[in-house]
Amino acid sequence: MKNTSMLLLMNLAKMILPLITLPYLTRVLTVDCFGLVAYVKAVMQYMQIFVDYGFMISGTQDIALARSDNDQLNAEVSNILLARLFLSVIGLMILVVMAFILPILKGNFLFVLLSYLVVVLTCFLFDYLFRGLEKMEVITKRFVVMRGIAVLLTFFLVKSDSDILWIPILDILGSIIAVILVFIQLHKMKIVLKFYLSNDILKKIKDSTVVFLNTVAVTAFMALNTIVIGIYLPIKEVAFWSLSLQIISAGQAFYTPIIEGIYPRMIISKDFNIIQKVLKIFIPIIILGCIFTYFAAPIMVQIIGGIQYIDATSTLQALIPVLFFGFTTMLFGWPTLGVLGKAKDVTFCTIITAFLQILGLIVLVNMGKLTILNISWLRGITEFINTCLRALYIWAYRYKGDIDCGKWTRN
């Protein structure tokens, strides 16, 4: 119960804290400067995924299996840390190459480097360790402290475009404080880091590749769109896209506690009536939420972004299918196919739809039809396809008898 409460609290913090500074930043920064900040954050999403390399899932499993053996636990933590630091060095090389290719990064290289340092510091937060040991309160308290400090100081130090370096600097400050708190906790838990090179480090990376590919494919839907918009369209379009996307993401944040809440129950019971009940309860609520978002979009955009972002209204409305189908995509993923031992099918569906998203972007570029409105519609179509592919897999496994579907009834 404590872990569930802490998980819910952290998800609420992840949703609320960015929304606190969003209306402030959209007003003190010009549209172009806010677009730059959003663009660099999109690039950092990819860097974060590369440095994480799926260890938030695979590492959690390794820690859970080793929790009763302290020596093995120390070895797991050390190997994963070294693997992530190794990936951080490679990530820096990739980032430098990107900065030389993309003018928007090259012209703001110090801002980019400081933002990447925040990514590197996450290596020392050991989220997978505390997840595997079911100590979510450590992650939650650390996250609230880390992000809370950055949010609070933003209002005092970021006043105009000339102050944007403070954005990553404050994140760095919050991260360093969080790292100190984590190492104090590690000392209390008698976790000892052992730094030595071995084949286990490369094995860790190899074993986590499947999870990494799935995560990359998921992020391709959102972060890649932002990067493409920044390459081919004016920077203000990045700002409009980012604002709309953050509103949609805030709505989808309510899905996470639902999905993560039923996931452990599904693993234990494999009672697929739970999935049916969740659909019956929440789909009508989500439909009403989507209708509300469509008609309230102009007001929402002005409240969060200001009058200068009113042109983002149509983008927000076009992204509503993403808000709707995002729930079924998540529900049909790990809580359904995942508990059936079909994790590769979840990954396959995500990779296929990510490929279609990329293909769609290429077609739009070649046809001269690349606009944030068309990208929004494309994103909704690919989310719908992802849901359909996962639903087809579930239907096949349920009705063709390829696997034992447990307690799933056909009512």
pLDDT single digits (tens) 230-260: 999 999 999 999 999 989 988 888 887 788 7
Tell me the pLDDT tens digit for each residue of 84-129.
Answer: 999 999 999 999 999 999 888 999 999 999 999 999 999 998 888 8
Other C-beta atoms within 10 Å of 15: how many? 16
Could you give the dihedral angle defined by the CA atoms of residues 229, 235, 238 and 240, in that order, rounded to the nearest 10 degrees?
-130
Name the residue among 315, 293, 312 with its Cα closest to residue 301: 312
Residue 226, token pair as written in the block: 């932002």
Residue whose tokens read 């490679």: 90
Residue 406, phi-psi category: left (phi > 0), alpha (psi -120 to 50), beta (remainder): left
Taking the C-alpha atoms of residue 193 and residue 95, their distance in angstroms, rounded to an integer, is 28
Taking the C-alpha atoms of residue 86 and residue 327, their distance in angstroms, rounded to an integer, is 35
Full pLDDT tens readout for the chain, 411 residues: 555 566 667 767 777 888 789 899 999 999 999 999 999 998 998 899 899 998 887 887 788 888 888 888 888 899 999 999 999 999 999 999 999 998 889 999 999 999 999 999 999 988 888 878 878 777 777 788 888 888 999 999 999 999 999 999 999 998 899 899 889 988 888 888 887 777 778 888 888 887 787 777 666 566 789 889 999 999 999 999 999 998 998 888 888 778 877 876 777 777 888 898 999 999 999 999 999 999 999 999 999 999 999 999 999 999 999 999 999 999 998 788 888 888 789 888 988 998 899 999 999 999 999 999 999 999 999 999 999 999 999 988 877 664 444 555 444
Would you mind telling me the total number of residues written for the chain in this entry?
Answer: 411
Whole-Å CA distances, 317 to 32, 314, 368, 369, 376: 22, 5, 22, 19, 9
Residue 396, token pair as written in the block: 């096949």
Taking the C-alpha atoms of residue 408 and residue 161, their distance in angstroms, rounded to an integer, is 56
Residue 316, token pair as written in the block: 């927000």
Contact assessment for residue 32 and residue 239, using Cβ atoms and an 8 Å cutoff? yes
Taking the C-alpha atoms of residue 37 and residue 239, their distance in angstroms, rounded to an integer, is 9
